[in-house]
Amino acid sequence: MEEHLRQLIRSIPDFPKEGILFRDITTLLKDAEGFRMAVEAMIAPYKDKKIDKIVCVEARGFLFGGAMGYLMGCGVVPVRKPGKLPYDTEKQAYTLEYGTASVEIHKDALKPGEHVLIVDDLLATGGTAKATAELVERLGGEILSIVFLVELLGLEGRKLLDKYDVFSVITYE
Amino acid sequence: MEEHLRQLIRSIPDFPKEGILFRDITTLLKDAEGFRMAVEAMIAPYKDKKIDKIVCVEARGFLFGGAMGYLMGCGVVPVRKPGKLPYDTEKQAYTLEYGTASVEIHKDALKPGEHVLIVDDLLATGGTAKATAELVERLGGEILSIVFLVELLGLEGRKLLDKYDVFSVITYE
């Protein structure tokens, strides 16, 4: 199954800049059967767990987070770039290759003790996921796992997330 | 049902700027039952139709597009802001209150003749939806309907979209 999904992903050299081999999931998304399999693989480990909220990261994480929330009967919480969420937010910065970026969550997005899956499409360096996890913890959420469709092993994002359970469906060296 | 969903939406004055009453759907998204009802209401008119692709608009449209694509057994196609899609794209500009913006779609996202639902969270002036519809048509897609969770009637977005069937679940004057 992982191999079938991997073949639906297109690799694009030098995007967004020279030397980067971009894993383009849009070719998987547009394949109805591939998208269904991907979503089901992402929720499979949590079928018997009590999950209250899917916290998903802008923007591609929303495509999976929405489907997973519906399927699992959970509420869905968007984590967004600064200035996009209209109510009171918590904000967390993280480091990029050059400089920093931030993500935000609504302060009332979670109740203390709620069980959370964090969802995004891709684990690269893990910076966004770690910042998201810190936001969830600041609101008192309990992180059961951080779930990705694709993991780029070479960037060692798992190391940055070593406090957490991390699950990915498709890995690349 | 519309009334129940409307009560889950929070209204925030003066966001993103003074004089605008922002309809915040995050309070609906985080309510598992409300999110489920919203997604089911958005697909209800199309249950017996042949739909090949859900084309959804960055970013909040992805939350609904992913769930709808899964439920309807369709492929999902993201329409994004410029520079986000890695492969060859078609681009369409649209007018904002001040200036213009653009959206893009991958050139190979649709096959000619495919049946498409366009999905976004909110119909305001309709500019983004119209630009998205033009992209879909340029690729040869047939637009069955443009579907929104929320419609702001006062902004008359439907007029701009009068070539198309438009469906919204919740309306505000």
Token code pair at residue B113: 């003749």
pLDDT confidence of residue B105: 98
Average pLDDT value for residue range B52-72 = 98
pLDDT in tens, B5-16: 999 999 999 999
Amino acid at the residue A103 = V
Confidence of residue B157 (pLDDT cuts 50, 70, 90): very high
d(CA A134, CA A157): 15
Helix (H, G, I), strand (E, B) or coil at A51: coil
Cα–Cα–Cα angle for A25, A169, B28, nearest 5°?
70
From A26, A67, A84, residue closest to B67, measured CB to CB: A67
Residues of A in contact with B76 (CB under 8 A): 29-30, 35, 63
B67 to chain A: closest CA residue: A67
> Cα–Cα distance between B91 and A93 in angstroms, integer?
32
**Chain B interface, best mutation among A62, A64, A136, by max B CB count within 10 A:** A62
Residue-level pLDDT at B159 = 98
The verdict on A107 touching B (C-beta cutoff 8 Å) is no
Per-residue pLDDT, B1: 86
The residue of B30, B58, B90, B107 whose CB has the most chain A CBs within 10 angstroms, and thus the best one to mutate to test that interface, is B30
Q: Is-catalytic flag, A60?
A: yes
Contact A55, A136 (CB under 8 A): yes
- The CA-based diameter of chain B, rounded to the nearest angstrom, is 44
Does any CB of chain B come closer than 8 Å to the CB of residue A159? no
pTM across the whole model:
0.97
Is A142 marked active-site? no
Distance from CA of B5 to the nearest CA of A (A): 14
Contacts of B29 (CB under 8 A, 6+ apart): A69, A75, A76, A77, A78, B35, B63
Using DSSP's 3-state secondary structure scheme, residue A25 falls into coil
Q: Do A87 and B10 touch (CB under 8 A)?
A: yes
Residue-wise DSSP of chain B: -HHHHHHHSEEEET-SSTT-EEEETHHHHTSHHHHHHHHHHHHGGGTTS---EEEEETTHHHHHHHHHHHHHT-EEEEEBSTT---S-EEEEEEE-SSSEEEEEEETTS--TT-EEEEEEEEESSSHHHHHHHHHHHHTT-EEEEEEEEEEEGGG-HHHHTTTS-EEEEEEE-
Report whether pLDDT(B33) > 90: yes
Residue A131 contacts B, CB cutoff 8 Å? no
Give the model's pLDDT for residue A1.
Answer: 87
Cβ-based contacts of B77 with chain A (< 8 Å): 26, 29-30
pLDDT of residue A98: 82
Residues of chain A below pLDDT 50: none
Q: What pLDDT, on the 0 to 100 scale, is given for residue A42?
A: 98
Residue A59, classed as helix, strand or coil, is coil
Closest alpha carbon to B35 in A161, A45, A73, A23: A73
CA distance A33 to A26: 13
B4 pLDDT above the threshold of 90: yes
Q: Confidence class of residue B96 from pLDDT cuts 50, 70 and 90?
A: confident
In order of A29, A100, A132, A164, the CA distances from A8 in angstroms are: 9, 32, 28, 29
pLDDT for A168 equals 98
What pLDDT sits at residue A38? Answer: 98
Q: What is the DSSP letter of A168?
A: E
pLDDT tens, residue by residue, A118-137: 999 999 999 999 999 999 99
| Strand B75-79, strand B53-57: pairing | parallel
User: Domains of chain A (ranges plus CATH)?
Assistant: 50-172 (3.40.50.2020)
